Amino acid sequence: MNLLTLFAIGRERRPDKTAIEFKDTRGPLGAQELTFSGLQREVERWAAAFVRMGVQKGDRVGLYLCNRPEFVIAYLAALEVGAIMVPINLRYRRRELSHILNDAEPALLIIEDEHWPVLDEIVGIEIGPGLTVLSVDRSESWLEEADGKEWTSASRPLTRGEETALIMYTSGTTGASKGAVLTHNHVLATVTGLLSAWAWQADDVLLLPLPLFHTHGLVVGLHCALAMGATVRLRTGFDATETVKTLSSGAATLFFAVPTIYTRLVDFLAEAEEVPSFASMRLFCSGSAPLPAEIHNAFERLTGKRILERYGMTETGMNFSNPYAGPRVAGTVGTPLPGVFARIVDAAGQDLPAGEEGELLLRGSNVFDEYWRAPQKTAESFVRDELGNRWFLTGDLARMDPLSGYVTLLGRRHELIISGGLNIYPREVEEMLTTFPGIEEAAVVGEPDAEWGEAPVAYLVCSCEIDEVDLERYCRGQLASYKLPRRLRFVGALPRNAMGKVQKHLLPRGDVE
């Protein structure tokens, strides 16, 4: 089985049902709607054009696009011809684009007109020959040349489940981004697991503002909807007013977002004269970054809906989830999804008992096998146990509750602060700091210290002036003294990537006001 055969099941249920309802929250692209049968007709038209351009099975097709129907069409058309899709973060510019295009070596790159200036800087200079670049804003001109060339499911090359469907590049916070090679089977494992775990239904409608170049929007959102035959209300980005209107009007049943979006929704609803009802909504889901417990609880107070937190990675798809039917514990990511195996180990790789803190290791049919053209990095990312099982080193520190089995993520291994020989987990300190009135956001990092080796330093985004004496007194009543920030730095904003994750390596060093 491959992804197209899975998607065909959803399409065959109700071919005339709306598959994609699109609205550009920015304005220029307007609105558009495609039924499942209409979407497939466009996919076949694009597939014929790709073949005419010389795209062959195994070639890479890069998509440097915002959320729009053409992204979905181009992706499915690439799968139709047996090609491998490479989604590219829209925030990437010359250095990052040059790296990905040279590393993945796509035969075809599809962009929007507004991105030509970025491409002009590198194509022909830093990128070798053999790359065809097309704009979706001029698609009719190159699609017309392929019209009349019939493409049907019988035209598809044989694509097995173990063959590559996607190369998804990591965010590259600790170096050049790496391409995680994801086969059809890897993605199928995540999708089929989520369809069951979250009780997806054919009548579901997903409001999706998350970027399709990221696994959260693409795999968790779009793939699941296509597989179930559910409708996606695709948006170019998040707009609080439009989101609340859609979710409260009965026009959606599912909403997937990142913590930053939930924070904005809480602020928006807290200022509203009257909080609308979200009676039609059966699932609010959060992921891609830690959701502060106070936002989780505030959202429930305002809406009566309890957010479901889960945990996934580019390299693995989805791994853990709080239960759909069962207690959802703020600050935890729940238990492993179907087919996912997990261990928490110490620095020597030995299993730790529940309740102790260590690195999280994963294996399962959802876990990727390799990084693209990076055998050394691949070898460094896996270990084998005494039975020969291959485990992925996530780099995430975690703890499992001895009673519930729920897992709490404590932060990245490389972000662990060791001060005077004692471990400090930044997330614990950050969550404590944001409970102090006036502190909107916090990021805690370790910086060199002559006495302790490392000392925790807090970068704070505040809505008002903070009395540091009061803050220190408050902190001392919350946590052990060795965990408390030695220095405070007040900043206007925390640097984040497209999915809302704080980029701690970009924090300004030194005192900033």
463 and 397 share one domain: no
In the chain, DSSP finds a helix count (H) and a strand count (E) of: 15, 26
Its sign, for the CA torsion 309, 310, 312, 317, is negative
CA distances from 186 to 183, 198, 383, 408, 496 (A): 5, 19, 19, 24, 28
Spatial distance between the Cα atoms of 396 and 344, rounded to a whole number of angstroms: 10
In the predicted structure, residue 400 carries a pLDDT above the cut 70: yes
378 and 436 share one domain: no
35 and 131 share one domain: yes
Residue 51's domain comprises 3-221
Q: Are strands 453-462 and 439-449 parallel, antiparallel or unpaired?
A: antiparallel
What pLDDT was estimated at residue 513? Answer: 39
Q: Among 354, 384, 411, where does a domain finish? A: 411
125 and 273 share one domain: no
> Is 344 among the domain residues?
yes
306 and 157 share one domain: no
Q: Residue 105, class by beta-carbon neighbours within 10 Å (0-12 exposed, 13-18 middle, 19+ buried)?
A: middle
Please give the share of the chain, as a percent, with pLDDT higher than 90: 73
- For 402, residues 6+ apart whose C-beta sits below 8 A from its C-beta are 353, 354, 355
> Is 498 among the domain residues?
yes
The answer to whether the beta carbons of residues 382 and 393 sit under 8 Å apart is yes
Q: Residue 465, class by beta-carbon neighbours within 10 Å (0-12 exposed, 13-18 middle, 19+ buried)?
A: exposed
> Is 434 among the domain residues?
yes
The answer to whether the beta carbons of residues 88 and 64 sit under 8 Å apart is yes
7 and 37 share one domain: yes
Residue of 127, 134, 71, 496 whose CA lies nearest to 86? 71
Residue 452's domain is classified under what CATH number?
Answer: 3.30.300.30
Taking only the tens place, the pLDDT of each residue in 89-100 is 988 888 888 889
Alpha carbons within 13 angstroms on the beta-carbon side of residue 114 total 7
- For 132, residues 6+ apart whose C-beta sits below 8 A from its C-beta are 53, 54, 107, 108, 109
What pLDDT was estimated at residue 283? Answer: 98
Q: Among 411, 445, 464, where does a domain finish? A: 411
Number of structural domains the chain divides into: 3
Spatial distance between the Cα atoms of 443 and 202, rounded to a whole number of angstroms: 41
> Is 233 among the domain residues?
no
406 and 347 share one domain: yes
Q: Among 368, 396, 411, where does a domain finish? A: 411
Q: Are strands 340-345 and 382-384 parallel, antiparallel or unpaired?
A: unpaired
Taking only the tens place, the pLDDT of each residue in 433-467 is 999 999 999 999 998 887 787 889 999 999 999 99
117 and 49 share one domain: yes
Spatial distance between the Cα atoms of 417 and 411, rounded to a whole number of angstroms: 10
Residue 326's domain is classified under what CATH number?
Answer: 3.40.50.12780
The three-state secondary structure class of 344 is strand
User: Token pair for residue 225?
Assistant: 């909807």
Average the pLDDT over each of 151-160, 250-259, 301-310, 398-407 and give the range with the smallest value: 151-160
In the predicted structure, residue 301 carries a pLDDT above the cut 50: yes
- The C-alpha torsion from 113 through 116 and 117 to 119, rounded to 10°, is 150
Angle at 223 between CA 222 and CA 227, to 5 degrees: 120
48 and 154 share one domain: yes
Average the pLDDT over each of 122-126, 175-179, 348-352, 381-385 and give the range with the smallest value: 122-126
Average pLDDT taken over every residue of the chain: 92
70 and 132 share one domain: yes
In the predicted structure, residue 141 carries a pLDDT above the cut 90: no
493 and 450 share one domain: yes
What pLDDT was estimated at residue 478? Answer: 85
Average the pLDDT over each of 333-337, 409-413, 447-451, 481-485 and give the range with the smallest value: 447-451
66 and 200 share one domain: yes
> Is 512 among the domain residues?
no
Spatial distance between the Cα atoms of 500 and 292, rounded to a whole number of angstroms: 13
Spatial distance between the Cα atoms of 207 and 30, rounded to a whole number of angstroms: 17
In the predicted structure, residue 174 carries a pLDDT above the cut 70: no
Mean pLDDT throughout 22-45? 91
> Is 385 among the domain residues?
yes
Average the pLDDT over each of 125-134, 209-218, 302-311 and give the range with the smallest value: 125-134
In the predicted structure, residue 511 carries a pLDDT above the cut 70: no
